[in-house]
Amino acid sequence: MKKSTRIRFIAASIAILSLSLGSVSAQATAPTVTKPKEKLLWAQWFSEKSRTPVNSKFWSYDIGDGYGWGNNEKQYYTNKRDNISTNGKGHLVITARKLDENNPADQYRCFLYLDCLYSSAKIVTRGKLGFKYGSISARIQTTEGVGMWPAFWMLGVPRPTCDGWPSCGEIDIVETRGSDPFTSVASLHGPGYSGGSALSTYYSAGNTPLSDGFHTYRVDWLQNSIKFYVDGRLIGSHRKSTIAPKDWVYNAEFYLILNLATGGDFDGGELDESIEKAELKVDWIKYETLNGVGQLIKK
C-alpha cells in the first residue's frame, strides 16, 4: 500500500471509530424514562350476597319516567331490588321488567300521560363522587332485544363555564342498541355536537353478540385527550385540536351513570313489547390513574 493511501485509510478508520464512540456515549448518557406506577383510586366489585342494593355512599337512584330524560323512553326508573341489586354471583344486575297493566301497583305515567311499559333502574354518583382524568373501565354484559338500551356513561358537573347538557359535556363509555347486539357505541356530546350529531365510534364484535358474554369497556381520559377501548383494543380517540373550532368541555369534573332504558330514540323509537325481562350485568367498575394522572373527588 502506498504511503498516501495508507494515511487516508488510517484517517478514515479514526473517523469511523470516533463516530462509534460518540454514538455509544450518546446512548450511555440518554435519560431513562420511567413510566409512573398506576394507582387504583376507586372500584366496585359487587361481591355482596344476593339482592344487596348499591352502596349509598357512592350511588344515588334517579327515579322517574323516561320522558324526563328527553329521549321518549318507555321505562320508569325505581330503586326496587327487583330492578337493581346484586345476584350473589359477583354481579350487579339492572333488570328491565314488563309492567303488568292489570296491576295498579305497576301503573307509572310516562310521556304524553301514557302508561310506562317497563320498570328499570338508573344510578348516578352525582353529588357523591366526581372524576377528573384517569382510566375508567367496567366489565359488562349487555342485553339484546329491540328497544333495549343499556349504557355506562358520564356527565359533566355544572360549573361557571356551562350549565347542563350538552354544554357541560357527556362521555358515553359504552351504549348498545338492542336491535344490534353485535355493535357497541362510544361517544362524546358537547356544544354543537350532541344527540344525532355526537362524535361516535362503533365497535363490531363480528359474529358473536356482545350480549353473549362480558366485555371490558374503557375510557382513557387526559387533559385535551380522550380514547375509547373495548377489550383492550383502541376503537376511537379525540383531542381538543381535532374537534376545534367546537368547544372541548372535558377538562373538568364528571360523574358516572349506569342505566338500562327501554324504547327511546336511540334504537329508532322501536320497542319489542313481547320482551318480559332484560338484564344488564356489571362484573366490576374500576377507576385508575393514567400516566400518574387522575383525581377522585369525594363529596
CATH number of 259's domain? 2.60.120.200
**Would residue 194 count as lying in a domain?**
yes
**Pair (18, 100) in one structural domain:** no
**Pair (162, 196) in one structural domain:** yes
Q: Do 165 and 189 contact (CB within 8 A), yes or no?
A: yes
**Would residue 35 count as lying in a domain?**
no
Beta strands in 70-166 (DSSP E): 75-77, 84-86, 92-98, 118-120, 122-124, 129-132, 134-141, 148-156
**Pair (48, 12) in one structural domain:** no
Model's pTM, two decimal places? 0.87
Per-residue pLDDT of the chain (299 residues; tens, 9 = 90+): 544 544 454 444 444 444 444 444 445 555 666 777 899 999 999 999 999 999 999 999 999 886 666 788 999 999 999 999 999 999 999 999 999 888 887 888 776 667 789 999 999 999 999 999 999 999 999 999 999 999 999 999 999 999 889 999 999 999 999 999 999 999 999 999 999 999 999 999 999 999 999 999 999 999 999 999 999 999 999 999 999 999 999 999 999 999 999 998 999 989 999 999 999 999 999 999 999 999 999 98
The conformation of residue 249, written as its DSSP 8-state character, comes to -
Task: Give the whole-angstrom CA distance, residue 164 versus residue 83.
Answer: 28
**Pair (102, 121) in one structural domain:** yes
**Pair (127, 165) in one structural domain:** yes
**Pair (115, 2) in one structural domain:** no
179 backbone dihedrals φ, ψ, rounded to 5°: -75, -15
**Pair (171, 206) in one structural domain:** yes
Q: Do 216 and 142 contact (CB within 8 A), yes or no?
A: no
**Pair (140, 10) in one structural domain:** no
Q: Do 256 and 42 contact (CB within 8 A), yes or no?
A: no
- Of 44, 249, 18, nearest to 152 (Cα)? 44
- The pLDDT assigned to 109 comes to 79
Q: Which residue has the cell 366490576?
A: 284
Instruction: Tell me the residue type at 110.
Output: C
In the chain, the number of structural domains is 2
**Would residue 26 count as lying in a domain?**
yes
First to last CA, the chain: 85
Half-sphere exposure of residue 261, counting CA atoms within 13 Å on the CB side?
Answer: 30
**Pair (22, 90) in one structural domain:** no
**Pair (88, 10) in one structural domain:** no
- Of 137, 263, 153, 142, nearest to 208 (Cα)? 142
**Pair (5, 134) in one structural domain:** no
**Would residue 5 count as lying in a domain?**
yes
- The pLDDT assigned to 170 comes to 98
**Pair (78, 137) in one structural domain:** yes
**Would residue 116 count as lying in a domain?**
yes
Task: List the domain range (segments joined by +) for residue 66.
Answer: 40-298
